[in-house]
Structure 1
Amino acid sequence: MDSSITIGTDAAQNAVRIDVQELLATRLLVQGNSGSGKSHLLRRILEESAGLVQQVVIDPEGDFVTLADRYNHVVINAGDYSEREIAAMGARIREHRASVIVALDTLDIEAQMSCAAAFLNALFDAPREHWFPALVVVDEAQMFAPSASGDVSDTVRRASLSAMTNLMCRGRKRGLAGAIATQRLAKLAKNVAAEASNFLMGRTFLDIDMARAADLLGMERRQAEAIRDLDRGHFLGLGPAISRRPVSIRIGATHTATRAGTHSLLPLPDAEPHDMRTMLFAELETMPPPPPPPPKPVPAHDLMRQFAAHDDDLALAETEPDPALSPEEVEAAQAAATAAAEDIEAGIVAALHDMLADPDGAFHPEAFLYQDFSVRCRMARLARVPLDLAQFRRRFALAKGGIFDPADARWADLLDAASRLPDDMLAPFVQIGRAAMEGLPCPDDDALGRAYGTRSPGRIRRLVDYMEKHGAVVVRSDFGGRRSIGIPALGLSTEAE
């Protein structure tokens, strides 16, 4: 497969290409003052390589979200999610190889740095089996890897700088190839800029930036003036993925554009001073209605489900039968789909059984358990992990309560009663309810603690008290100290224990 893309033409109108495979190993640094065409260059690279490599864009100004209109990128509006959800998305993105744009434009600078740090760290900390190649583009990199402290707290600055350093210095072995762009080389941390081996230098005017750009391009100081004379959209390129000698490049056209567009001079409105004053100070009730509220944010679990749709090994999708197929072929396809679904369900149940066979399995953190579940599904040769985090949390809680098939009609009333309690109480409540339905003794504190994920007897007592206060259970103790627990919604009670 040809891994090179065309980004523009040289002075002789010959195509200038970038070897994407080489770029993944050697990284890229782009520099240019505002208006030099830096964002246009990044957009050209992203468009041309969209079909070759997974792309992750850290977009502080929301310039690149329009890529999703034409390509398969998923837009993450970071202001709609918590830091924990952003980190979870970063891990899921690596697993499913989804191309995403993290739009940070609704956040202030400190929140942008915190969000970018959490996201990049999640990409970096992904398990080894998810180290797929990905091009990570960071626009305005001097914001996330500043060379000096600014108005943000030292804690946020260090976290952001550490994440950027990991991306550029240690990301290659994890499949992460940084492509960073900055307006000012002097404002970008040197240890971040120094790790790039490919350079695209656009127009800049400050002597210190021209001198650093000339040094990186291997030019003499007296030749640095040429960088000041570059036209908009023209760059000097050098590096193993571009050219072994500095080459002047005129960047080609793109298929998409930023929603903001470019600002051009417009004629001023033609109105008399009196008319203008009337319009400016008109009564408020004559003003046009306010714009409609922004759309509601997409829930994090729905966005993660979009990431899964990008997985190369998708399980069977729900599709309409091809009208060209005969009834026998449609029936055979439906039977195959049913068999595949049964195999997936059998794999889920087997993985849950194996996890619960570990005496300490119920006490591990949720993230560890989900990772363990994902690995077991891969080992069982399932095409993809069949449950997202929220679905796994519920299935694992039900399994701890002894229910491995929630679709079984026997448990419908019990699960309906359990829906009134918080999710973390699902496992012990189901365990009690199942014992009541099967006429078994009341589970002891150790059994309830294992279902609840705790070894503290005090927490179990508080758990049972909470459920009783909310009418979910009724606790009875006889004179011998034996306890039974009833479920009012079912009209049943466990045997005394």
Structure 2
Amino acid sequence: MTVSVDMGSDERGAPVTMDLEELLATRLLVQGNSGSGKSHLLRRLLEKSAGQVQQVVIDPEGDFVTLSERYGHVVIEGADYAERELARIAARLREHRASVVLSLEGLEAEGQMRCAAGFLNALFDAPREHWYPALVVVDEAQLFAPTTGGEVAEEVRRASLSAMTNLMCRGRKRGLAGVIATQRLAKLAKNVAAEASNFLMGRTFLDIDMARAADLLGMERRQAESIRDLARGTFMALGPAVSRRPITVRIGTVETQARSGSPKLVPLPQADSVDLQSLLDVTPDAAPTLPMTFDPRPRRVPADELLSDIEAPAQTTSAPSLPDRNEEEVEAVYAEVLRAIVTDDESSGRPAAVLFQDFQVRCRMAGIAKPALDLAAFSRRLSCARAGIFDPHAEEWASVLALAGGLPDDMLGAFLLVAKAARDGAPCPSDIAIANTYGTSSIGRVKRLIGYIEGRDLFVTRTDMGGKRSITIPHLGWTTAPAEAA
């Protein structure tokens, strides 16, 4: 069955169509500087072929998510999932032939490359019985198949480039037809661009990109210079799916719009310079003037007064007996004293033995002659307090403390900190917060701590593509909300 996709009209107004079956077999490369209309072209192709073939869109800017309302595309926010979860989603999409937009808007460049690589590899590795035809549209392809590494890790660059190469070189036998768009041909890996047999070249100004475009179109340099004169939304087309000779095509209209459009000029506010100046002026806060109400010189004590003070017998007073406290009152004092200790910024770096002395002094000042806690019991109470738990004897924490009974005392605070966040559904504590609870400033020790607890099957750690970590306590069924680990 031949399906023709109406892309627009040529210079004479005749319709220009693209053979969808031929496109699936020969792939497509779209090139044009920023503002040339590449995204508009891709949107036209996706809209006109919707319902005819499965569509997979790798969308680094989140521009194509609006296709979901009109055409039913599934929108996946890549930053919300871990790599293994994205692989399972991709396999399920191939099985059920659902069209999808993978939005990478919330990720940095390295995260986008890692996410796209994992997703494309999962599409590529689908079982043979699921090799249905699909258009795989990759916008801003130079981000995922760069000629150089830039600021991303070399391992990430290699993985992304390998996935893009598999899509363009070996994807056809698996039903995957790559449609890639780029602003700069010079920044796109040659082995990826060279696999396309259909080309739509938009407005280009740089000589190096024009030379690459002329080479791909089989044109002389003098002919290729006409690409500079193309209007926005107009492309020079060549390839078995559209035309055997270069033609100029004006892309037709679309029914959906991107969330972010081109900037438009808007009128400036109507106000004279005096009014604008008054809006910008900020009166500095006047520093208060403090009168000198004291004599900076020390007071001279008369000799007679000094001698009388020395000769006066010291008055001895007996210390008042401390009142008896019941168990609930003692626990309340312990909680208040521990709260004061952990809120002191200087206490985080002090060992438990030093803080135990501070604890005893504070309890004495609160009316408890000798605390019933020894150093070991205090260390565990201190760990609980650093996690925000000041009453560990409460019934709600019984199961948590029993679960953590096999952990060393110094790890108890970190476990309880995560458990408290998981119980409340709060964001996962950061490495710095865990380090403060653990009594260290080393992030490496925190990672080894989490790994140790995870090895005891008390934690299950999950990190999504956006770098946000969540921790599950499987024995309790509690999970924290995702949050940055840094």
Distance verdict in 2 for CA 1:81–1:279, change over 3 Å: farther
CA distance in structure 1 between the partners assigned to 2:58 and 2:272 by the alignment: 47
CA deviation string 1:270-328 (max 9, x = no partner): 23455446656899xxxxxxxxxxxxxxxxxxxxxxxxxxxxxxxxxxxxxxxxxxxxx
Q: Which amino acid aligns with 1:193?
A: A
Q: Which amino acid aligns with 1:123?
A: L
2:69 equivalent to 1:69? yes
2:71 counterpart SS class: coil
Q: Which residue in 2 is equivalent to 1:149?
A: 149
CA distance in structure 1 between the partners assigned to 2:45 and 2:26 by the alignment: 15
Q: Which residue in 2 is equivalent to 1:339?
A: none
Q: Which residue in 2 is equivalent to 1:116?
A: 116
Q: Relative contact order (alpha carbons < 8 A, sep ≥ 6): 1 or 2 greater?
A: 2
* Mapping for residues 67-216 of structure 1, pairs under 5 Å: 67-216=67-216
Q: Which amino acid aligns with 1:126?
A: A
CA distance in structure 2 between the partners assigned to 1:123 and 1:277 by the alignment: 59
2:50 equivalent to 1:50? yes
CA distance in structure 2 between the partners assigned to 1:277 and 1:24 by the alignment: 61
2:253 counterpart SS class: coil
CA deviation string 1:324-376 (max 9, x = no partner): xxxxxxxxxxxxxxxxxxxxxxxxxxxxxxxxxxxxxxxxxxxxxxxxxxxxx
CA distance in structure 2 between the partners assigned to 1:280 and 1:259 by the alignment: 33
Q: Which amino acid aligns with 2:40?
A: H
CA distance in structure 1 between the partners assigned to 2:274 and 2:88 by the alignment: 58
* Mapping for residues 228-247 of structure 1, pairs under 5 Å: 228-247=228-247
CA deviation string 1:242-263 (max 9, x = no partner): 0000010000000111111221
CA distance in structure 2 between the partners assigned to 1:170 and 1:108 by the alignment: 28
1:268 counterpart SS class: coil
Q: Which residue in 2 is equivalent to 1:369?
A: none
How far did residue 54 of structure 1 move? 0.3
Q: Which amino acid aligns with 2:66?
A: T
Q: Which amino acid aligns with 1:113?
A: M
* Mapping for residues 368-407 of structure 1, pairs under 5 Å: none
CA distance in structure 1 between the partners assigned to 2:50 and 2:282 by the alignment: 50
Q: Which residue in 2 is equivalent to 1:249?
A: 249
Q: Which residue in 2 is equivalent to 1:8?
A: 8
Q: Which residue in 2 is equivalent to 1:395?
A: none
Q: Which residue in 1 is equivalent to 2:450?
A: none
Q: Which residue in 1 is equivalent to 2:263?
A: 263
How far did residue 214 of structure 1 move? 1.2
CA distance in structure 2 between the partners assigned to 1:54 and 1:282 by the alignment: 58
CA deviation string 1:386-428 (max 9, x = no partner): xxxxxxxxxxxxxxxxxxxxxxxxxxxxxxxxxxx9xxxxxxx
Q: Which residue in 1 is equivalent to 2:39?
A: 39
Distance verdict in 2 for CA 1:221–1:97, change over 3 Å: same
1:45 counterpart SS class: helix
Question: Structure 1 segments of 4 or more deviating over 2 A?
Answer: 271-283
CA distance in structure 2 between the partners assigned to 1:111 and 1:274 by the alignment: 48
Q: Which amino acid aligns with 2:77?
A: N
CA distance in structure 1 between the partners assigned to 2:280 and 2:65 by the alignment: 35
CA distance in structure 1 between the partners assigned to 2:95 and 2:278 by the alignment: 59
* Mapping for residues 228-377 of structure 1, pairs under 5 Å: 228-273=228-273, 275-276=275-276
Q: Which amino acid aligns with 1:102?
A: L
Distance verdict in 2 for CA 1:260–1:279, change over 3 Å: farther
Aligned residues: 288
CA distance in structure 2 between the partners assigned to 1:117 and 1:111 by the alignment: 10
CA distance in structure 2 between the partners assigned to 1:95 and 1:273 by the alignment: 65
Q: Which amino acid aligns with 1:75?
A: V
Q: Which residue in 2 is equivalent to 1:59?
A: 59
1:237 counterpart SS class: strand
Distance verdict in 2 for CA 1:274–1:177, change over 3 Å: same
TM-score by length of 1: 0.56
CA deviation string 1:33-65 (max 9, x = no partner): 000011100000000000110000000011111
CA distance in structure 2 between the partners assigned to 1:143 and 1:35 by the alignment: 17
1:70 counterpart SS class: helix
Distance verdict in 2 for CA 1:202–1:282, change over 3 Å: same
Distance verdict in 2 for CA 1:275–1:37, change over 3 Å: same
Q: Which amino acid aligns with 1:265?
A: L
CA distance in structure 1 between the partners assigned to 2:95 and 2:8 by the alignment: 33
How far did residue 74 of structure 1 move? 0.7
Gaps in structure 1 of 5+ consecutive residues? 284-420, 422-461, 464-469, 472-497
CA deviation string 1:164-191 (max 9, x = no partner): 0000000000000000000010100000
Q: Which amino acid aligns with 1:228?
A: R
CA deviation string 1:205-227 (max 9, x = no partner): 01111111112111111111101
CA deviation string 1:449-493 (max 9, x = no partner): xxxxxxxxxxxxx99xxxxxx89xxxxxxxxxxxxxxxxxxxxxx
How far did residue 2 of structure 1 move? 4.1
Contact 2:140-2:183 at 8 Å conserved across structures = yes
Distance verdict in 2 for CA 1:9–1:84, change over 3 Å: same
CA deviation string 1:191-244 (max 9, x = no partner): 000100000000000111111111211111111110111110110101010000
TM-score by length of 2: 0.57
1:76 counterpart SS class: strand
Q: Which amino acid aligns with 2:211?
A: A
Which segment drifts farther, 209-218 or 46-55?
A: 209-218
1:51 counterpart SS class: coil
CA distance in structure 2 between the partners assigned to 1:248 and 1:98 by the alignment: 33
1:186 counterpart SS class: helix
Gaps in structure 2 of 5+ consecutive residues? 284-402, 404-455, 458-474, 477-486
Q: Which residue in 2 is equivalent to 1:26?
A: 26
Distance verdict in 2 for CA 1:207–1:129, change over 3 Å: same
2:57 counterpart SS class: strand
CA distance in structure 2 between the partners assigned to 1:178 and 1:282 by the alignment: 57
CA distance in structure 1 between the partners assigned to 2:198 and 2:256 by the alignment: 25
Q: Which amino acid aligns with 2:88?
A: A
Q: Which residue in 2 is equivalent to 1:354?
A: none
